Structure 1
């Protein structure tokens, strides 16, 4: 029987199903929450963009010839997310590192919450909190309240995720209101697993974070997950993004492929329809397994975590492939979770639900 660390190889892009050695499996893994990689209408828009812009634009964004699609896409992203401004890069990892490097240049010291995404690590030295997210908040607020600004001249950047995607848990940010008014801090939030899925209509975490005059907000995210785009984005105030935009780090980066940004600008109804299909799938699944005590999850979020790693081989024998491997390091404990997408059908969800109920009846 395969173990959670057993790896399979396929020669095609995963969709609602995959083929492993000639056998079809329903696919409940990955991060394509809105199902856009296999969405025919979205693919058509990419083809239109490909004919207009080609497959890649390898020039610096700060060159003396610039494509208008970048400004159009960034304005649309910022307006949609409710942010002041947006800046795109060629990956979520690059977006996180561009933000972190700029804060390093500005002299900030970093306080990291548990399980923070590697995209926003300050390398080579990263001191990730070992306590729970709630304890990290408590300790952070205690430090900010007991260490006055005159005694501690260090500038502090609080770095965290918007969600615990490994365990299907959305983080609450009401604690921002408790930061003392005499402490100016930066809050850097990685929203890679939230943008396109959480918030009103999938707009992400920006609207969920209380705005404070003494808290500079920077949100980074991969666009390659729910949004279906090979790139990343930084949301912040215009001044912060201006400093990143005209840094040597950003100037030396190749940008997002413009054909995909063209598709994004044209795809508003496609995103809306995919979000609604995803939410319908989430409701169907949660209604059917809520009583099992098998999976932990947050309502309206497509990730369902299980501490029972044996769920993976059990479902695999029944033609269902789910996420189960060590992350972010190979030495970490295997993480087993079910991930829903907009591309799943009601029959797919029903089959998954029935198999989960069978597992619970045998082992719980």
Structure 2
């Protein structure tokens, strides 16, 4: 018998390749940037001001019943890519109704808002093209820019003059401007009309992510694009999510029939991803019908946000988001944990989600919050924030 050489003679002496993560974790912990998953129970015993359930429809019996019916009819999952067998009649019907609600010819549903933005941007732009990215754009748009391999220029948030300057100086024939309509961090509204004019005047298209605007801004909750009178305008692409006001899961891209056909052929996050689960389609379709039939919900959520901001000492919001700056990550996290301990869930946004020194509590209003709940939340949040900023937490 011949000796078998040891395939790893020096294995015991080799450093562990991923050991660097231990030091990285220690640094994050010291900087107050460690994050934890905290599973919640089905029955919530705390007041929810952290989720993006803006219209309070996630547990609405009409929505949950529609999700159950869809699962019973079509199964627990889409079972494949939508180009194989993952597109059901439920998907088709929802896309038609969603497009009609938005006042656009067509829409295409993706498995998440992240996939919708990445797919749209990378399918529209490629090598040799230019993307001008608004400084407040969501991470999904940023990653879509990277995936596209186009040249990317980032401008300050909402700076439409800078957009004009970049577009005017470009050598590329094709260009796209990407932005959120409502910035997710503080709920401010982007200058969509001015950004569109800048893009249009220089032969570029504009992609607007309406994730935080659908159900909140515009006529009947149809978003900022509708609010500023640009519905159906040429060279304008609308994206959004089904996981906020529409109380389900998934994302969409809406615009012309030509756009939809192009995405079906070219969007990698559509072609190679399993289709959105039927239960999510059913839930979103039901929530869309509620929003269409009860347009006052959009007004109500903005009213609740204004009242929360006033009671907590924040700036008057333009959307459902109330942003309360604390400062450093550690105190902000401590304030959010104190709120949680006292029965109120709030968001805690720390770098890199926000610039250094601006860690904050992020409250999201819901249309179904009662006067009593608003008052209770304000008391808890104000006390926690004040203590954190004073170093008493």
Higher helix share: 2
8 A contact 1:302–1:340 mirrored in 2: yes
1:270 to 285, 290, 298: 290
Distance 1:240 1:354 in 2: 48
Which among 143, 161, 165 is matched to residue 138 of structure 1?
Answer: 161
> Where do 1:1-364 residues align within 5 Å?
9-12=37-40, 17-18=44-45, 25-63=46-84, 66-105=87-126, 107-121=128-142, 122-123=145-146, 129=154, 131-133=156-158, 136-144=159-167, 146-147=168-169, 152-176=171-195, 178-179=197-198, 183-209=202-228, 211=230, 216-247=235-266, 249=268, 250-271=270-291, 276=296, 279-280=299-300, 282-284=302-304, 286-287=306-307, 289-290=309-310, 294-299=313-318, 301-309=319-327, 310=331, 312-313=335-336, 315-316=339-340, 318-326=342-350, 334-355=359-380
- In structure 1, the gaps of 5 or more residues are 19-24
When the two structures are aligned, how many residues end up with a matched partner? 347
CA contact (8 A) 2:122 2:267 kept: no
Please give the alpha-carbon distance, in whole angstroms, between the structure 1 residues aligned to 2:250 and 2:35.
26
* C-alpha distance in 1 between matches for 2:181 and 2:70: 31
174 and 270 in structure 1: CA distance in 2 versus 1, 3 angstrom threshold: closer
Q: Which has the larger radius of gyration?
A: 2
- Contact kept, 8 Å, 2:110 with 2:116, in 1: the verdict is yes
Closer, same or farther: CA 256–66 of 1 in aligned 2, 3 Å = closer
User: Given that residues 327 and 335 in structure 1 are in contact (C-alpha distance below 8 angstroms), is that contact kept between their aligned partners in structure 2?
Assistant: no
CA deviations on 1:5-52 (whole Å, 9 max, x unpaired) are 57565433577x44xxxxxx3221121212233222211111111111
CA contact (8 A) 2:308 2:365 kept: no
Residue aligning to 2:24: none
CA contact (8 A) 1:108 1:156 kept: yes
- Is 202-211 or 165-174 further displaced after alignment? 202-211
CA distance in structure 2 between the aligned counterparts of 1:13 and 1:348, rounded to whole angstroms: 20
Q: Does the 8 Å CA contact 1:285/1:350 hold for their aligned counterparts?
A: no
Structure with greater contact order relative to length (CA < 8 Å, sep ≥ 6): 1
Deviations 1:131-179 (A, max 9, x none): 342xx311112344x54xxx83431111111111211211122214643
| Deviation larger for 124-133 or 219-228 | 124-133
Q: Name 2:11's counterpart in structure 1.
A: none
Structure 2 runs not aligned, ≥5 long: 1-30
d(CA) in 2 for partners of 1:55, 1:349: 37
